[in-house]
A and B are shown apart, each in its own frame.
Chain A
Amino acid sequence: MKYIGAALIFTSGIFAGAYRAVTMRRRVKKLYAVITALKILESEICQRLTPLQAAIATAFSTPELRRFMEKFDALSPQIGETGFSDIWRSCCNQSFAELTGEELTCITAIGRSLGRYDAAAQGQAIDGCLRQIESAYAAESAVCTAYCRTSLGIGASLGAMLSIVLL
């Protein structure tokens, strides 16, 4: 019985480490997806003058941003009835759980310009947001590369130590 308990503790330690690593990787992936989407959105708006709904559909079509797109598809018929910035905020709040409060605020803020002003003004807003998200991505991906395996190791070690103490 003791050995089974120890094995369970050891396994859960590994899982805890793996979970931490996966969360970090997921956040990095999400940041990268957001950066790509914002770049496409900017080019669709500023260079091709694509209508906003079509531009968003093109930019946010990756699997990482599926949740955002589902939410946007559900709310976009309300454009006109509800202000676009409210719809954008609602989509961001419900789709970007991996982002920090500051990053989320930054993405939400561009909704105040999107679709409302000329292409240059929208481009400026997206640019400002991109800079912030890109620096977060750079920092996070460096941390992720360095600590993903470490966190897995730490989890496993803690589990092993606890098991030994219990035994």
Chain B
Amino acid sequence: MDNLDRAAFLLPPDMRSAAAAAADAEEFRLRTGFRPTFLCRGTETVLPGCRTVLADDLDGVLERATAASVHTAQSSIKNGFVTVAGGIRIGICGSVIASDGRIMGMKRLSGAAIRIPREVRSCADSTYGAVTDGGFKSTVIISPPGGGKTTYLRELIRRLSDNGMRIGLADECGEVAAVWDGMAQFSVGRCTDVMTDAPKGAATVMLLRSMNPSILAMDEITAPEDTGAALEAVGCGVELLCTAHAGSVEDFRARPLYGQLVRGGVFKRAVIIGFRHGRRVYSAEDLQ
């Protein structure tokens, strides 16, 4: 069963065949009151022949994703997603249950985005030389959401790792290596150690303490705690490989969240992923 079939299986039974036929789909999107769609190269298209999504369908998606054990996934539901076998991440939206300012869970789901991760072995070909020129230096991978940062990160990790660099991967959402039953389902190279499920800050400390990496990799610096984790790692003398949401290097520099990283000159290089004529374009840039 490939990841497209796995993702299609999460949908209500009457939508599965239409979903499985959408071979290029990068995401399936369900919103109550609307017909389901799939996302392909930044464009959303309605899944043909499918009815309107009901609230019960979204509960059903979570039920299938957790093998009828939604309560076991509460900690990740609080963060707005659930990851299932194959590294498929289901982002969820709904009415948040909060208590004392803390998010406790989610009820009355209104939308779900089912991401289908794929290995694209060639995606780092054009930039690998530039990224490793004179030895690997701390690099940030930049693109808007859905640009393919995780796919590129995974491939870069694999190539660096297979070339003998020890990489510690803090895979908080389980999307990069998609570890299931202790086994990475995506190839992340022979010298990569993966820490899953832990918050990036904690995972970084654990990896540094226990696995002696030469590169620390993490997906999505999206919160101040993640920035803290990155700064902590740099102070320990390892190179960093991270992804960040930004449209360009200028956007990256301008975002307050990344201010400390930019001012500290943490990242020496950036890989920018953009779209041209509906295709992804990768370019590397020195930040110094």
B69 & A80 in contact (Cβ 8 Å cutoff)? no
How many angstroms from the CA of A52 to the CA of B69 in the assembled complex?
Answer: 5
Cβ contact of B67, chosen from A46, A50, A53, A118, cutoff 8 A: A53
Residue among B67, B68, B107 having the largest count of chain A Cβ atoms under 10 Å: B68
How many angstroms from the CA of A52 to the CA of B63 in the assembled complex?
Answer: 11
B70 & A84 in contact (Cβ 8 Å cutoff)? no
Interface size on B, residues (CB 8 A): 18
A84 & B63 in contact (Cβ 8 Å cutoff)? yes
How many angstroms from the CA of A15 to the CA of B186 in the assembled complex?
Answer: 68
Which residue of the partner chain B has the closest CB to A119?
A: B71
What secondary structure prevails in chain B residues at the interface with A?
Answer: helix
Task: Decide if A114 is an interface residue (CB 8 Å cutoff).
Answer: yes
Tell me the chain A residues, 69-127 only, with Cβ under 8 Å from chain B.
Answer: 79-81, 83-84, 114-119, 121-122
Cβ contact of A51, chosen from B59, B62, B67, cutoff 8 A: B67
Task: Decide if B278 is an interface residue (CB 8 Å cutoff).
Answer: no
How many angstroms from the CA of A116 to the CA of B74 in the assembled complex?
Answer: 11
Q: B-facing mask of A8-34, CB < 8 A → 1, else 0?
A: 000000000000000000000000000
Task: Decide if B9 is an interface residue (CB 8 Å cutoff).
Answer: yes
Task: Decide if B72 is an interface residue (CB 8 Å cutoff).
Answer: yes
Q: Give residues in B with beta carbon < 8 Å to A.
A: 9, 13, 59-60, 62-64, 66-72, 74, 77, 105, 107
Give 7 nearest A-B pairs by CB, closest first: A115-B68, A119-B71, A51-B69, A84-B68, A52-B69, A80-B64, A118-B105
